[in-house]
Structure 1
Amino acid sequence: MNILKWVGPVGLLAALVIGDQIRINRPAHKYRLTMEVETPDGVKSASNVVSVHPYRGYQPSGKVTSRGDAVVLDLGGGRNLAALMLHDDKGSADFDGANFVAMRAYQAAGRKIAFRDVSSQTGAVPVTGELMPVLASFTDPRDASTARRLQPDDLSPLGTGTRLRSVTVEAVPNGFWPIDFGGGLGEPVTRGVTAKLPWATSEGEAARALAAIGFPNTPEPATALARK
């Protein structure tokens, strides 16, 4: 009987702790980044869902973070194109751009929205100009040092007739995080970059890749490819 009297309080405490963790970790919004490339064999596309998380902890400061993987598109014939979770800020590596690309793309499309409004947006909008993530290709996907940077308006190193058709972003439902397994439960964050780039989560190998495309000595380089 003495044990039973604690069941209620302990259960309530557990519910409060779980609820608070959900409040802290639940995404503010999710977005799908889609890349389409025209090739001699037709249009090829790939997309990933990323979740964006504002800081809701108890420390006096914190920052927005995101979770998800870079988009890696297999073009066939050993060719590939990756949209990294990395932006170029006047020659410096900008990792925060991936956190705000959806908001900024909707703003660039003429929607006067704030960060808190992204989750209510519908439809895909273009990602262009400074909003474009860094694009890279890997001569050998198993070797990080074979990375080379490509420009959105020139994919000729990938072959004649290959060009970037579009990069778009679209807000998708948050769903019932953390049980957002798809369908009515919400879009899950996309994983699987290591199936295409086996070294992607290795800080050392990711550093080699970023150095090869012009961003040497970058802190936490693996976050350009995968964010937990």
Structure 2
Amino acid sequence: MRRAETVHLCRTAQLRNLAALILLSLALTGCIFSKSETFRYRLTVEVDTPDGIKAGSGVLQVSVTETGDSPFILPEARGVRSQARGEAVVVDLGGGHLLFALLDKADSIAHAAFDPPRYRGDYGSIRTIRQLKETEGDADVPREAYPMLVTFADIEDPMTVRQVDPDNLADIFGQGVSIKGITVEMTTDAVTTGIERRLSWLDNLAAYRKVPNNPFSSNLPHEIGALRNR
């Protein structure tokens, strides 16, 4: 066999081996055994006040990836992973008082409201989401699935954040103020943006870190991290 032919065969074998290694790597990490779905919903918060009903709403997006059960997949690569994108819903109660519904339950609140069928087996979560996306109309969020509610004593200072009891808004906002309800509606509208116009410090969180380049060195209250997720 001539040298050129030998070199060609060797290169072909190397390329085949490389392709096999890439496929094996993708299989082990679940990349070629995964399915994904994305959905959006509008979250609306209504509050009864002495001046009437005050409401705020926003569109959030949830992306879900499920990796099926296969002997070719590493155990740690299996299962369901979700990620929410959006920002807290803001209700302007008047008099300079703002109520924020955070993102702490953003990836589960639509399921809690609509209670879609839970499918078993591989990719059951993906099938559930496809069913959820077909839901029409709105649904009430059950009390136990409410997102965390907060306000700020000083809207210019993130250190003044304060949790609000959904069952006792009057404790902070005064007599006659209470949650009327929280609802969810499936939508294809764009994800809501612009909360930084109310919270001028939100784009400068590095100023609250002990080490500016290390986000884990922040001394901000944990609620601040649930205001926005890009």
What TM-score comes out, normalization by structure 2 length?
0.65
Higher alpha-carbon Rg? 2
Instruction: Give the structure 2 partner of residue 75 of structure 1.
Output: 93
CA distance in 2, matches of 1:27, 1:207: 35
1:126 aligns with 2:143: no
What displacement does 1:149 show?
A: 0.8
1:194 aligns with 2:196: yes
Instruction: Give the structure 2 partner of residue 35 of structure 1.
Output: 45
What displacement does 1:73 show?
A: 1.3
Q: What secondary structure, in the 3-state scheme, does the structure 1 residue paired with 2:110 have?
A: helix
CA displacement, residues 1-44 of structure 1 (integer Å, 9 cap, x when unaligned): xxxxxxxxxxxxxxxxxxxxxxx9x8621011000111111111
RMSD: 2.7
Count of residue pairs the alignment pairs up: 169
Instruction: Give the structure 1 partner of residue 122 of structure 2.
Output: none
The one-letter code of the counterpart of 2:96 is: G
Q: Is the 8 A contact 1:27 1:51 kept in 2?
A: no
Q: Is the 8 A contact 2:169 2:178 kept in 1?
A: yes
CA distance in 2, matches of 1:85, 1:190: 13
What TM-score comes out, normalization by structure 1 length?
0.66
Instruction: Give the structure 1 partner of residue 159 of structure 2.
Output: 145
The one-letter code of the counterpart of 1:112 is: P
- Aligned with 1:104 (options 77, 95, 112): 112
Task: Give unmatched runs, 5+ long, in structure 2.
Answer: 1-33, 68-72, 119-127, 210-217
CA distance in 2, matches of 1:135, 1:121: 26
CA distance in 2, matches of 1:207, 1:150: 21
Instruction: Give the structure 1 partner of residue 179 of structure 2.
Output: 164
1:208 aligns with 2:220: yes
CA distance in 1, matches of 2:135, 2:195: 27
- Aligned with 1:55 (options 59, 65, 71): 65
CA displacement, residues 43-87 of structure 1 (integer Å, 9 cap, x when unaligned): 11010000111137999457210110011111111111110111x
Task: Give unmatched runs, 5+ long, in structure 1.
Answer: 1-23, 87-96, 174-186, 216-220
CA displacement, residues 109-150 of structure 1 (integer Å, 9 cap, x when unaligned): xx5352332111111111122210001111111111111111
Q: Is the 8 A contact 2:37 2:130 kept in 1?
A: no
What displacement does 1:171 show?
A: 0.9
CA distance in 1, matches of 2:98, 2:184: 20
CA distance in 1, matches of 2:146, 2:108: 12
Residue identity (%): 33
